[in-house]
Chain A
Amino acid sequence: MKLNLKIWRQKNNKTKGKIQDYILDGVEEDMSFLEMLDFLNNKLLNEGGEPVAFDHDCREGICGSCSLFINGVAHGPERGTTTCQLHMRKFKDGDTIFIEPFRSRAFPVIKDLIVDRSSFDRIQQAGAYVSVNTSGNTQDANAIPVSKEDADEAFNSATCIGCGACVASCKNSSAMLFTAAKISQYSLLPQGKVERKQRALNMVKQMDLEGFGACTNTGACEAQCPKEISIKNIARMNREYLMANIKK
């Protein structure tokens, strides 16, 4: 198939970027979206041009590296999948495809389609962990009873891959779904309950410091999350944060 690609090109975060047009012929429907970009880059390199920079790693929907805003939707038109899981059979011959980086003040563009998502790392470092005594006497996690409901819910929250689609799709560029998923993952489990107050306070504080917007509960994050994390996690985070302030 032949595609008209409109790709955001930006040298670095100091310069302004713009959309550049590329006509790409010979795209096969079995290619993944990232393979299509590889195909384009090969063509650009053969022609002596500058390849399009984009993030990728596992290419199997686990790492959360590939994060593109495709035709106005985070990770493209297929629900519940990452960009690397999107295949060209979802498009038609002659289609025009807009490809942009995830946009947020807290996700500055590094180059072309690559953005700096280290703000997510700093939020996690603020409290998304369990302090464990590693002296050799650590209790086996499996010896602590956890109800099936809580375990399932915590696991669902833990499926967040930190790709940033929630931020990209939110009109306020809010990172609350991400932060809420990380807080929920621990607060639902007995091991995580010990530090729940500090976790909620510290992670929310860091989230605000990074410059993300505030959630207005539109649900766009949930709709475009490749792991379909529920916004009920945000309600849980609100509860955790409010209770942590009351019991401080």
Chain B
Amino acid sequence: MLKSSIGRKFLMALSGLFLIVFLTQHFIINITSVFPDDGKTFNALSHFMGNNLIVQFVLQPVLILGVMVHFSLGIYLEIQNQRSRQVSYVKRSINNGASWASRNMIISGLVILSFLIMHFYDFWVPEIMYKYVDHNPLDEHRYFHELQVKFQELFRVVIYCVSFILLALHLLHGFSSSMQSMGITKGPIKLVSTLFAVIIPAGFIFIAIFHYI
């Protein structure tokens, strides 16, 4: 089934929805960093996520696999789709009735991929080094401080904000599109996906600006 166009669409949708679940979980933890408790809740949740064996050795590899499947399949499908029209139109209407977000998923996707590489370099790599390479002692109070330090640099905040705007556009089409790919049309899909695409990225932008200020 996965060799067919619909099968690949299904896998794309499934991995996308999995990443949406992860994004929601990530947001719920990050938003606690703006709570007026000097990072107590944020530290506790981060420490749990960073040291729980199931999260570290089951969910984390699954997440990395999900990211790799989504991005590699997205790039592969884009190349395949480009090949399906060998001669381009001389004149083509700008949108042909389709939104910018839906026509440029590869652009928003590649921006998000670049952002993820930077994000991994910023947070994930130092964390892995701290725990598994340098074998530092457990310090359950360091996470909030590390977060605040990272967001003191303006260029990083700007890159985060731009990336999350592109993520919003990606989600604006991707969420509802994944439902369509899985054959689901009932319910307020458009409303839910639009709300999600606006609220979650706006929340992440708010967190970045909050810590910068």
Chain A residues packing against B (C-beta within 8 Å)? 6, 8, 17, 19, 69, 71-73, 98, 100, 103-106, 169, 171-174, 176, 204-205, 207-208, 211-220, 222-224, 231-232, 234-242, 245
Contacts and interface: CB of A to CB of B under 8 A. Distances in A.
Given A98-B90, A212-B84, A245 B96 contact: no
B6 interface: yes
Interface of B: 1, 4-10, 77, 80-81, 83-93, 95-99, 102-103, 105, 173, 176-177, 179-185
A224 B96 contact: yes
12 contacts: A169-B97, A171-B96, A173-B84, A176-B5, A211-B84, A214-B8, A215-B5, A216-B102, A217-B181, A218-B98, A238-B180, A242-B183
A72 B84 contact: no
B190 to A, nearest CB: 11
Nearest to A72: B93
Contacts of B10: 238, 242
Contacts of B103: 171, 218
A235 B9 CA distance: 11
A104 B91 contact: no
A104 B84 CA distance: 6
A19 B90 contact: yes
Given A236-B183, A245-B1, 6 more contacts: A105-B85, A212-B5, A213-B5, A214-B80, A219-B99, A242-B6
Ranked 7 nearest A-B pairs via Cβ:
A223-B97, A239-B183, A213-B84, A218-B98, A172-B81, A72-B93, A213-B81
Contacts of A104: 84-85
Given A169-B96, A208-B5, A216 B105 contact: yes
A222 B93 CA distance: 15
Contact of B5 (A19, A71, A207): A207
Contacts of A232: 185
A237 B95 CA distance: 25
A231 B176 CA distance: 13
A12 B91 CA distance: 21
A220 B85 contact: no
Given A105-B85, A223-B97, A216 B177 contact: yes
A17 B202 CA distance: 49
